[in-house]
A = this chain, B = another copy of it.
């Protein structure tokens, strides 16, 4: 873990962080091939890739009964936790619902119509990284937005369904599920096949092949975002509990070797106690080797003179997760401009936001919180402008349209008001 006190070293560190999320041209080539195959040969190519990567030839679609049966394999505790999370996530996202509006000026009506997307595809990773929380976080906002058709793709290595994913899908009432994964699943949702109808938007995380495929089909369909490795930045002062700080840093670091954990503090004393705590807690972690590697590569403690300076650093890095463990965390809020989610106070560890707080855990990474937002209901709607002009309004607006259209050399544009004036 790097200790940073110097501005130049900080700038070098930021550059290193930003380089984490670049894609590999080699992977792009092989993903492009898969996309083209699915586009050309549909279900046939889909079956071929599924056999190759997931080692099974089961029907693409998974029946609702099969999902519900498998869902019963989970414990009561897990079921209750999923229900608890589902309710809280839904409640938060319901506050994001926007309404269409219009206003009138004489016989001119102007407005903004907001409608849900018609059909959305959600990708759920299979195997090791099969997270039920992700199922909830990706699908609930679409449901709240009013999306009627939600198709889910989940790879089933060796044909094995994951009971926890099934439980999450069953709780959400999802009926259309396909056992496919990887770039081929993204292609199927983007282009459509004989079995799978083309969607309007694809959401959900995945490995580098899935992420690359999403990037390549963007424009053909919409996508949520390309999530990079996870990040946490913690602003803490002398009042922070070093065990809490250490635990929260480690919770990011265990994600993968590219994850990034940063402490920014004005307290040299905290630096030492956090370092000790990290060493102590690491010993008990099953994923200690991943966490160690992550901290070695992308872990840092940045020592600053003031909390104001800490906020500036947070704004420069624009972290996915930003924790504030200071004596008066609310005081810093107006200074914090770029972050996916902000966690205030000693009792708000980031994992509370991952699972049950309510806000979405799909957040902008790699500094993109400068311009991107958390996944939300607004990602599952589209807007249309509404314009209705009556004869009076037309007479008021037409002369200006004529001047500007003529100025821009668009005579047929000007003509649309001229022909109407002569009637």
Q: Chain A interface (Cβ within 8 Å of chain B)? A: 21, 77-78, 80-82, 84-85, 92, 95-96, 98, 101, 103, 108-110, 112-113, 115, 117-118, 131-133, 164, 200-201, 219, 221-222, 226, 241, 243-244, 247-248, 250-251, 253-255, 281, 284-287, 291, 322, 329-330, 333, 336-360, 363, 368-374, 376, 378, 382-391, 393-394, 397-398, 400-401, 403-405, 407-420, 423
In the assembled complex, the CB of A174 is this many whole angstroms from the nearest CB of chain B, namely: 19
In the assembled complex, the CB of A419 is this many whole angstroms from the nearest CB of chain B, namely: 5
Given known contacts A340-B385, A413-B254, A419 and B244 CB-to-CB distance under 8 angstroms = yes
Q: Is the CB of B342 within 8 A of A412?
A: no
Given known contacts A96-B112, A219-B226, A400-B81, A416 and B247 CB-to-CB distance under 8 angstroms = yes
Could you say which residues of chain B place their CB within 8 Å of the CB of A405? 351, 354-355
Could you say which of B337, B357, B385 contacts A374, with CB atoms under 8 Å apart?
B385
Q: Is the CB of A352 within 8 A of B387?
A: yes
In the assembled complex, the CB of A331 is this many whole angstroms from the nearest CB of chain B, namely: 13
In the assembled complex, the CB of A253 is this many whole angstroms from the nearest CB of chain B, namely: 7
Most buried by B among A346, A369, A386, A391: A386
Residue on B with the closest CB to A201? B371
Could you say which residues of chain B place their CB within 8 Å of the CB of A222? 368, 371-372
In the assembled complex, the CB of A254 is this many whole angstroms from the nearest CB of chain B, namely: 4
In the assembled complex, the CB of A136 is this many whole angstroms from the nearest CB of chain B, namely: 10
In the assembled complex, the CB of A79 is this many whole angstroms from the nearest CB of chain B, namely: 10
Given known contacts A200-B370, A382-B369, A84 and B343 CB-to-CB distance under 8 angstroms = no
Residue on B with the closest CB to A360? B385
Could you say which of B285, B341, B347, B417 contacts A349, with CB atoms under 8 Å apart?
B417
Given known contacts A133-B408, A371-B200, A344 and B401 CB-to-CB distance under 8 angstroms = no
Could you say which residues of chain B place their CB within 8 Å of the CB of A376? 112, 383
Most buried by B among A112, A254, A340, A384: A384
- Give the complex CA separation of A378 and B373 in angstroms: 11
Could you say which of B254, B339, B378, B403 contacts A81, with CB atoms under 8 Å apart?
B403
Given known contacts A370-B200, A411-B286, A342 and B81 CB-to-CB distance under 8 angstroms = no
Given known contacts A254-B412, A347-B393, A357 and B110 CB-to-CB distance under 8 angstroms = yes
Could you say which of B372, B411, B416, B418 contacts A287, with CB atoms under 8 Å apart?
B411
Q: Is the CB of A387 within 8 A of B417?
A: no
- Give the complex CA separation of A400 and B136 in angstroms: 14
Q: Is the CB of A404 within 8 A of B85?
A: yes
Could you say which residues of chain B place their CB within 8 Å of the CB of A385? 340-342, 353, 359-360, 363, 374
Could you say which residues of chain B place their CB within 8 Å of the CB of A355? 400-401, 404-405
Given known contacts A241-B423, A251-B416, A419-B247, A348 and B388 CB-to-CB distance under 8 angstroms = yes
Q: Is the CB of B219 within 8 A of A389?
A: no
Given known contacts A201-B371, A412-B254, A419-B244, A344 and B386 CB-to-CB distance under 8 angstroms = yes
